[in-house]
Amino acid sequence: MIQIERPRGTRDFLPDEMEKRRAIERIMRRTAESYGYREVTTPTFEHLNLFTIKSGENIVQEIYAFKDKSGRDLALRPELTAPVMRLFVNECAVMPRPLRFYYFANCFRYENPQKGRYREFWQFGVELIGSDSYLADLEVIVLAYNIMKNLNLDFTLNIGHVGLLRKLLEDVDEARYRKITRMIDKNDIEGLEEYLSSEGFEGYIDRIKDLIGLKGGMEVIEHSREIIPEFDFSHLRNLCEGLEKLEIEYNLDFSIVRGLDYYTGVVFEAFAKRGLGAQNQICGGGSYRLTHLFGGADVPSTGFALGFDRIAEICEMKADSAESILVAYTPGMELEALKISERLRGSGKIVLSDVMERNLKKQLSFANTIGAKYAVIVAENEFKEGKVILRDLEKGEQVLVDISEIRKYF
């Protein structure tokens, strides 16, 4: 018989891991909802051009793209910002703004699996749609920061602005600009210098290197003003003042350009300080404009996505654990035990009953194996008197309890 393995780049999650992941998810959801964000869900697959419109045909090599039985080009979603923007254009364009959406779902990319990088992965993210104010950027960054803080993560938050580089390179055509930003995103400074020289852009080299080398607090805004005096820094300054007012720890870093081309203003990234090695980015986001590419009006948006799998790997949170009870029985009392189990499940506890038809000794041994705190024993003689035996498996003590009052003990 052939043993069928799971596909490469995917994972199975056993109950202990799933309980931890759900506990993390609950904190993410509660935090987002406390800011007024509401959940949306989009299809697992979309039309392929939803992703090629904004990222180009080359992205087809990086995603799961296929034709359906009618020959339509479809793709498993590689991320969720574009689907949510498509949803907005299709369903929400006339709704009062701003709109605050959040999502939690699996995504798919066809890439080389490695630690912290999988072909199927999960994202938690938000999109604030309809405002280009610095207050929108401020809210989204603070929300991302507080989600990570509420999970007790140790991280650094870096903030940049792609508008600076766009202003500096405003005379460079879009194709060359994208190539330059990709090199900066990969920190390939040597390759960047060679490319600029080969294209006759030597005059940009020092200014670009000076700009992307700026890192620190608000003081770097003044330094960047010397490099790009024609840029309007008021939005970025207001954002930084807001972050400091709200006591958010951050660093300005103008080397952040993000890997996607649709960002237009503020961008930000968060990195775990330990536990993930080179693949330590756990959050990324910024302000962008996408809706006009999908047939809608040109609407400003700000959002972020959290790398749920990487966060689950380093988060030390323990899953919520409810006390468990095993309802055991002597021969012939199994149906009475099932009825009492149903009654106890309303108490909020985990209640198990034996379905293996084992003897009482083996049932109690199983209770110890799974870490049950209590056993309720349904025995024929006691049951005739309207009672069951309640045994504390940790203390080894037991008492007779009226069946009508059994829930009071839990």
Among 51, 54, 105, 96, which residue's Cα sits nearest to residue 73?
A: 51
Kindly state whether residues 137 and 268 are assigned to the same domain: yes
What is the β-pairing status of strands 374-378 and 324-329?
A: parallel
Give 66-75 pLDDT, tens digit per residue. 999 999 999 9
Q: What is the pLDDT of residue 262?
A: 79
Find the largest Cα–Cα distance for the chain: 97
Kindly state whether residues 310 and 329 are assigned to the same domain: no
Kindly state whether residues 298 and 352 are assigned to the same domain: no
Please report where in the chains the tokens 């490319």 appear, as a residue.
195
Please state, in angstroms and rounded to a whole number, the distance separating the CA atoms of residues 403 and 386.
6
What is this structure's pTM?
Answer: 0.93
Kindly state whether residues 294 and 156 are assigned to the same domain: yes
Kindly state whether residues 130 and 20 are assigned to the same domain: yes
Q: What is the pLDDT of residue 346?
A: 78
Q: What is the pLDDT of residue 260?
A: 60
Give the other-Cβ count within 10 Å of 83's Cβ.
Answer: 24
Please state, in angstroms and rounded to a whole number, the distance separating the CA atoms of residues 105 and 102.
10
Q: Which domain holds residue 225?
A: 15-314
Contact between 302 and 128 (Cβ < 8 Å): yes
Please state, in angstroms and rounded to a whole number, the distance separating the CA atoms of residues 204 and 95.
44
Residues of the chain with pLDDT under 70: 258-261, 319-321
Peptide bond into 96 cis (omega under 30): no
What is the DSSP secondary-structure string of 60-71?
A: GGGS-EEE-TT-
What is the DSSP secondary-structure string of 196-246?
A: HHHTT-HHHHHHHHHHHT-EESTHHHHHHHHH-TTS--HHHHHHHHHHHHT
Helix axes 234-245, 219-227, angle to 10 degrees: 170
Please report where in the chains the tokens 């630690």 appear, as a residue.
115
H or E segment to which residue 340 belongs: helix 334-344
Q: What is the pLDDT of residue 323?
A: 84
Q: What is the pLDDT of residue 259?
A: 55
Q: What is the pLDDT of residue 258?
A: 66
Give 323-341 pLDDT, tens digit per residue. 899 999 999 999 999 999 9
Kindly state whether residues 385 and 277 are assigned to the same domain: no
Give the other-Cβ count within 10 Å of 393's Cβ.
Answer: 18
Within-domain flag for 2: no
Among 279, 278, 283, 243, which residue's Cα sits nearest to residue 267?
A: 283
- Which of 290, 314, 338 marks a domain boundary? 314
Helix axes 134-150, 234-245, angle to 10 degrees: 40
72: CATH = 3.30.930.10
Give 77-95 pLDDT, tens digit per residue. 999 999 999 999 999 989 9
Within-domain flag for 354: yes
Please state, in angstroms and rounded to a whole number, the distance separating the CA atoms of residues 196 and 190.
10
Within-domain flag for 8: no
Among 136, 133, 131, 211, which residue's Cα sits nearest to residue 167?
A: 211
Domains identified in the chain, total number: 2
Kindly state whether residues 153 and 297 are assigned to the same domain: yes
Kindly state whether residues 366 and 301 are assigned to the same domain: no
* DSSP state letter for 9: T
Q: What is the pLDDT of residue 385?
A: 96
Contact between 270 and 163 (Cβ < 8 Å): no
